[in-house]
Structure 1
Amino acid sequence: MDADFQDIRIVDLDLSKTTWSRVHETLRIMFLKLDREPPDNDWLRLFFEERETRIVARRRGLWIEDGYISFDSLPNEVEAIHLPDIRRSLDYANREYRKLVAQKAVQRAGQQREIADERSELVALRERVRAALAGKPPPAATAEPAPIAVPMAATAAVPAKPAEPVASATAEPAADIANEFDARRESLKQRFRLALNHQDQELKRGND
């Protein structure tokens, strides 16, 4: 398919090729000369596709070959009937073929990108396989981002948390000793009072 396609045009009625028609003795096969041959079968398909959408009286056989459009016609029908009819199909084929060329170009570009991507993947795979066979670590796919350095000024500006007061290690044991001493002293006082009371009672009994 020609990426630089230019419209196919009718450039002449070639009388030197005019011949008798096999359809009827009054008919002739007329030859319209094209500026060049159609590019491929897609253009021909579009040309005949358009013709099949319309019914035109006095149409007979029509062929496209060797850079000519040939058709059965009476000489006086060429200008009034067949030339406008053929040019309409010609314009349609040119217009739709340009669209088809553009679509094929987009498809080719996509295929080329896919081929390039696959090639890159295969090259990377080959490098990993070679590294594995050589006992080397495979190349890193992507580099990790470097850590962000924090300026010293920023860290110095943060105030330090004040230290919590630490209780004295001897405070609690000293309090326990004092409490125990007071308790023992009270116990001795009570025992002494009981002893005195008991002694007084014994003296009173002796006097009686």
Structure 2
Amino acid sequence: MNQIFREIKIVGLDDEASRVPPSGMADIFLNLSDSPPNDWVRMFHHYWKHKFYTLKCSASVVGSRLQIGCLPEDLKNVHLPELKKVIAEANLQYTGLLAKQEQEKQEQLERDRLQRQRALDLKKTLKFD
């Protein structure tokens, strides 16, 4: 594959950007290992939208961070495991998309090569004197 994709992972919490009040909902920003490609982000949002579990909160990927609005005490044991599952699914699906695109590219290159070969074979049979 020509495109290099490193699987996206949660690597930390951005304490500068996160807003964690003494009680109630927090706006938490988690750092990702990289800024994911747009197709990956769409996949993440799709899988998160269709993920159902108790206490589910809103989450979105912006740049190299994942933002989630939740109760801070629920992040570690409730939301983080679910976020990791959705990230793993987005990684898997995105890797599959890249593989499919690469296969289609190789198939097109082979079709182009065969067409050129047929043109060369035809050229050898013609005389232009």
TM-score by length of 1: 0.53
User: Secondary structure of 1:19's partner?
Assistant: coil
1:3-42 correspondence to structure 2 within 5 Å: 3-19=3-19, 26-41=24-39
2:51 corresponds in structure 1 to 54
Q: Once the 2 structures are TM-superposed, how far is the Cα of residue 125 of structure 1 from its aligned partner? A: 4.3
Residue ranges of structure 1 left out of the alignment (5+ in a row): 135-208
Could you tell me which of 103, 107, 112 is aligned with 1:110? 107
Aligned in 2, Cα 1:4/1:115: closer, same or farther, shift over 3 Å? same
Percent sequence identity over matched residues?
22
User: Secondary structure of 2:16's partner?
Assistant: helix
Amino acid at match of 1:84: P
Report if the CA contact (8 A) 2:45-2:60 is conserved. Answer: no
Higher helix share: 1
Report if the CA contact (8 A) 2:11-2:32 is conserved. Answer: yes
Residue ranges of structure 2 left out of the alignment (5+ in a row): none
Aligned counterparts of 1:2 and 1:120: Cα–Cα separation in 2:
25
Aligned counterparts of 1:124 and 1:61: Cα–Cα separation in 2:
61
2:93 corresponds in structure 1 to 96
How large is the RMSD of aligned CA atoms in angstroms?
2.5
Higher strand share: 2
Larger radius of gyration: 1
Report if the CA contact (8 A) 2:20-2:72 is conserved. Answer: no
RCO comparison, higher one (Cα < 8 Å, 6+):
2
Q: Once the 2 structures are TM-superposed, how far is the Cα of residue 15 of structure 1 from its aligned partner? A: 0.7
Aligned counterparts of 2:2 and 2:33: Cα–Cα separation in 1:
16
Report if the CA contact (8 A) 1:62-1:69 is conserved. Answer: yes
Aligned counterparts of 2:26 and 2:53: Cα–Cα separation in 1:
18
Aligned counterparts of 2:57 and 2:2: Cα–Cα separation in 1:
31
Amino acid at match of 1:38: P
User: Secondary structure of 1:90's partner?
Assistant: helix
Report if the CA contact (8 A) 1:13-1:32 is conserved. Answer: yes
Do structure 1's residue 121 and structure 2's residue 126 form an aligned pair? no
TM-score by length of 2: 0.81
